[in-house]
Amino acid sequence: MTSLSDASVSTDRTPSEDPVLRGTNQSGMRAQNERLVLTLVRQHGALAKSDIARMTGLSAQTVSVIMRALEQDGLLERGTPQRGRIGQPSIPMSLAAEGALFFGLKIGRRSADLMLVDFLGRVMRLERQVYRYPTPGAVVDFVASSLPRLIADLPEHLRGRIGGLGVAMPFQLWNWVQSIGAPQSEMDAWQHRDIQAELAALSGLPVFVQNDATAACGAELVFGTGERPKDFLYFYFGTFIGGGLVLNGQLFTGRSGNAAGVGPIPVPGPDGQTRRLLDVASMSALATAMEAAGESSDHLWAQHEEWRVSPAVLDAWLDGAAHGLAHAILSAAALIELEAVLIDGWMPKAIRAALTTRTHVALHALDLAGIDAPAIRQGTVGANARVLGAAAIPLSHRYLIDQNAPNRDTWSRF
């Protein structure tokens, strides 16, 4: 596991060869070195002091001081001593689940989620609200009523370990009123309300805001499992479809924080006419098809475990979405060498698996001359990637090596 923006260690070189993962023995860099140690332990799992010293180039004494401090702060905990053939047994140190807690808030076009997670990214509490469309007032009221419930039975010593609130939300919500059937006058309020400031005043915590699909991609970096490619494109299916881009192990957010906003990518539709990707590959496209067939789509927004969709409608949607994704992937792969494409979303696992398989087939049915086709894989975080990604923002900002941590200058653009 890694921070939102910094490189995972590649498989073709050792960590000590990566300048980002090098430490310094200067006493003034203690905070940076502590972040470095926490990042490595998150990436690799439990590590002994000797492992950290070898990976970073820090002296054994410096590593000992850092890890002792992190243990005293409750951020690291000791594992079972590992005995070798000679010398003292080594003691692996791992992240302490209760070392730090974080709130994540997902503001979606159809629902809002507020979650409390521990240092490992495990869900401790969750509140959810479904609505017809989002307004700033409704979101603030939701947080105001939900926060007390999330911490009601939390021990006092853990309340003091809550390190921040991350917010994942679509950018420029006021520009999507026709797509979600919301009144323009109510959605325009997003242009004038400072949600970051309101939530900071409400919670008493530092608040960070990020594009929702970018945050979902960040969750894959921080909390994801399995092999983590250094260069990958990430798709998240929500009401619309959003994306994230990771280059050299770092989340690429772009100048305005909206890089890899894949929804507007032009792709051929079922009739051969050019469409936007979001028009063929999104839950809103599925909902439209369901309503046209006389099927209710309301349950799609309330839960993700089961879709009650007729086989004919679902099959047509899967094919259309897969072909749209394949063309978008081909365009991206022609511009950037991608190791993999990850597909995730607010959907049942079986649907995600089927969509991933069909996308692979659709991509390889295209003309790939001159293209090194990326692997098509399922995301590993799942339906809650956006809200988990939101919680990962303050975690990364405070405790991990993170060159792209949000700041006040970027908040104003949201």
Higher pLDDT, 6 or 387: 387
Higher pLDDT, 330 or 411: 330
Predicted confidence (pLDDT) at residue 26 exceeds the cutoff of 80: no
Spatial separation of the C-alpha atoms in residues 222 and 220, rounded to whole Å: 6
Average of per-residue pLDDT across 38-67: 92
- The predicted-structure confidence for 228-284, as pLDDT tens digits, reads as follows 888 999 999 999 999 999 998 889 999 888 899 999 999 998 888 999 999 999 999
Choose the weakest-confidence range: 47-56, 71-80, 225-234, 294-303.
225-234
Instruction: Identify the pLDDT of residue 87.
Output: 56
Predicted confidence (pLDDT) at residue 298 exceeds the cutoff of 60: yes
Architecture per CATH, domain 101-211+386-405, reads as 2-Layer Sandwich (3.30)
- The predicted-structure confidence for 91-138, as pLDDT tens digits, reads as follows 999 999 999 999 999 999 889 999 999 999 999 999 999 988 889 999
Spatial CB neighbours of 253, under 8 Å, sequence gap ≥ 6? 5, 210, 211, 214, 259, 404
Maximum Cα–Cα distance across the chain: 73
Mean pLDDT of the chain: 87
- The predicted-structure confidence for 148-169, as pLDDT tens digits, reads as follows 999 999 999 999 999 999 999 9
Query: Do you know the residue count of the chain?
Result: 414
pLDDT band at 28 (very low <50, low <70, confident <90, very high): very low
Average of per-residue pLDDT across 288-316: 96
pLDDT band at 173 (very low <50, low <70, confident <90, very high): confident
Predicted confidence (pLDDT) at residue 18 exceeds the cutoff of 60: no
Instruction: Identify the pLDDT of residue 82.
Output: 77
Average of per-residue pLDDT across 341-351: 97
Predicted confidence (pLDDT) at residue 362 exceeds the cutoff of 80: yes
- The predicted-structure confidence for 370-402, as pLDDT tens digits, reads as follows 999 999 999 999 999 999 999 999 999 999 885
Fold of 227-379: Nucleotidyltransferase; domain 5 (3.30.420)
Q: Cα 406 vs. chain centroid, distance in angstroms?
A: 14
Instruction: Identify the pLDDT of residue 32.
Output: 87
Residue ranges matching CATH 1.10.10.10 in the chain? 15-95
Residue ranges matching CATH 3.30.420.40 in the chain? 101-211+386-405, 227-379
DSSP-assigned states of every residue in 98-140: TS-EEEEEEE-SSEEEEEEE-TT--EEEEEEEE-SS--HHHHH
- The predicted-structure confidence for 220-242, as pLDDT tens digits, reads as follows 999 998 788 889 999 999 999 99
Contact 392, 215 (CB under 8 A): yes
Handedness of CA 166, 170, 175, 176 (dihedral sign): negative
DSSP-assigned states of every residue in 62-104: HHHHHHHHHHHTTSEEE---B--SSSSPB--EEE-TTS-EEEE
pLDDT band at 178 (very low <50, low <70, confident <90, very high): low
Fold of 15-95: Arc Repressor Mutant, subunit A (1.10.10)
